[in-house]
Amino acid sequence: MKKYTDQGKKDTRSGFGAGLTELGRKNNKVVALCADLIGSLKMDTFMAENPDRFFQVGIAEANMMGIAAGLTIGGYIPFTGTFANFSTGRVYDQIRQSIAYSHKNVKICASHAGLTLGEDGATHQILEDIGLMKMLPGMTVINTCDFNQTKAATLAIAEHHGPVYLRFGRPKVPNFTPENQSFEIGKALVLQEGTDVTIAATGHLVWEALVAAENLNNQGISAEVLNIHTIKPLDEETLLQSVAKTGCIVSAEEHNYLGGLGESISRTLSRHNPTPQEFIATQDTFGESGTPAQLMEKYGLNNKAIEEAVLQVLKRKA
């Protein structure tokens, strides 16, 4: 097995901030907008270094999305920053009409996604955003797994023409992918090769999947781990190659099982290679206050839950 080492826990939102800072220095077409959450989104450095290219819009997300759409007219590449809840559900129609349908080159960058936002509770813990965004024609949907990958993705989406939803989070999570890596939109990464089961994870559950795979290996079960950082477009080729070998799959994400990565995977498999699948995801519920670790435990989103799901899906294998 490959060995992955946590280089020290870091928040993915800081990876976004680091990427945005670098973009500010090397791409003068990149502009950024924030709705009164500069500190939370780690946009401080970009703002300080590029005051002309930074727009504080106040607590007015709908206006922010419209202004971002307008800024593309004239050749700019706007990055909007607010919490995932206010980046999607609150402004769905603005994104739909002024950005997606209008083909505007806006990067919607969303922090504090999912339960692990923690103590603020369900009002802020959106678990439906991947579904909302992936349903919009032409929208690219990315959910990165750690600091380094979030930084790499932030740099990569500036080079991609078209609307992008980039999802990351608040808590510090293991940082285990290489520094200064390249990021290929739509290309899943095989982190661990295995033969008995595929674990397809996105976001910080990729680390949980790696931990689960190691524990399973100790029990004699060989798990293949995929890092599906891009949910749309989904890397169907890598997915199908993996299940052709393993014959069963567990999807893992910090999102409702309705509308998330797991659903995209099952749609692909049902068309090309029907495969037993278990879903590590929230079960059509809202969240609640708690620490990230408590919430991941209670809602079944950690490596233990992944292990149990693997044992379940193995029983269903033909």
For binding to another protein (CB under 8 A), which residues are involved? 31, 52-53, 55, 57-58, 60, 62-76, 78, 93-94, 96-98, 101-104
**Considering the complex, what minimum distance in angstroms separates the CB of residue 30 from another protein?**
11
Would you say 148 and 12 are in contact if contact means Cβ atoms under 8 Å apart? Answer: no
| Whether 61 is catalytic | yes
Decide whether 78 or 292 has the Cβ nearer to another protein.
78
| Catalytic-role residue among 61, 208, 263, 307 | 61
Looking at the Cβ atoms of 70 and 121, the one nearer to another protein is: 70
Kindly tell me which of 98 and 202 has the beta carbon lying closer to another protein. 98
* Residue 272 contacts residue 236 (beta carbons within 8 Å): yes
Rounded Cα distance between 35 and 49, Å, is: 18
Between CA 72 and CA 190 the distance in angstroms is 35
Q: Which amino acid is it at 131?
A: G
102 burial class (0-12, 13-18, 19+ CB within 10 angstroms)? Answer: middle
Give me the least distance between CB of 129 and another protein, in Å please: 20
Of 314, 75, 33, 68, nearest in space to 196 by CA: 314
Instruction: Give the tokens for residue 302.
Output: 């950690």
Cβ 152 to another protein, closest distance in Å?
27
- Rounded to a whole number of angstroms, the minimum distance from the CB of residue 35 to another protein is 10
Sheet bearing 223-227, strands edge to edge: 189-192, 223-227, 197-201, 249-256, 277-282
The secondary structure element, H or E, covering residue 264 is helix 261-272
Q: How far is CA 216 from CA 2, 194, 204, 212, 279, in A?
A: 14, 11, 19, 6, 17
Nearest CB to another protein, comparing residues 70 and 300: 70
- Measure the CA–CA gap between 71 and 55, rounded to whole angstroms: 11
Least separation, in Å, of the C-beta of 54 and another protein? 11
Nearest distance in Å: CB 134, another protein: 19
Give the active site residues.
61
